[in-house]
Structure formats: structure tokens, C-alpha cells
């Protein structure tokens, strides 16, 4: 299958998306989202847990943390 054939196959399978017809005003959703308090992601929670664990095991490292902050 050549590149042109692949393009043709894809064009046949995918109609252009319908752009019009969205009636909802999404500003209210955006504004509500901006007013939400910040959410903690799993990465944030993992990082806090890792730092906490390290400090529990090696309390002296608090100075390393303090220095890097």
C-alpha cells in the first residue's frame, strides 16, 4: 500500500468533522473550573509520600531539602 493509497483509504473512512451546531456556552464550565481549588495529582501525592518517607528514614536530610527549597 503506497502513501497515496493509505491517504485515500483514510479519507474514505473519516468524514470531515462537523464544526457547527455546538449551542452550549462553555464559558460557565471554564469559569467554574478556574474557581475550583487546585487538585492534587497522583504525581504530587507520590512526591509528597516519597519525601515524607525519606525524611522519616533520614531526618538529617531535612537540611538538604531546606537548602534546595
Binding site residues, other proteins, CB under 8 A: 1, 3, 5-14, 17-19, 21-22, 24, 26-27, 29-31, 33-34
Q: How far is the CB of 50 from other proteins (least distance, A)?
A: 24
Instruction: Output 26 or 66, the one with its CB closest to other proteins.
Output: 26
Q: How far is the CB of 52 from other proteins (least distance, A)?
A: 26
Query: What one-character-per-residue DSSP string does 16-37 give?
Result: PP--S-----THHHHHHHHHSP
Tell the burial category of 55 from Cβ atoms under 10 Å away from its Cβ (0-12, 13-18, 19+).
Answer: middle
Amino acid at each position: 500500500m503506497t502513501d497515496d493509497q493509505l491517504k485515500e483509504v483514510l479519507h474514505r473512512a473519516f468524514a470531515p468533522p462537523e464544526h457547527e451546531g455546538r449551542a452550549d456556552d462553555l464559558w460557565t464550565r471554564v469559569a467554574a473550573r478556574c474557581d475550583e481549588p487546585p487538585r492534587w495529582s497522583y504525581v504530587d501525592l507520590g512526591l509528597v509520600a516519597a519525601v515524607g518517607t525519606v525524611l522519616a528514614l533520614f531526618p538529617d536530610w531535612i537540611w538538604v531539602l531546606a537548602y534546595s527549597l
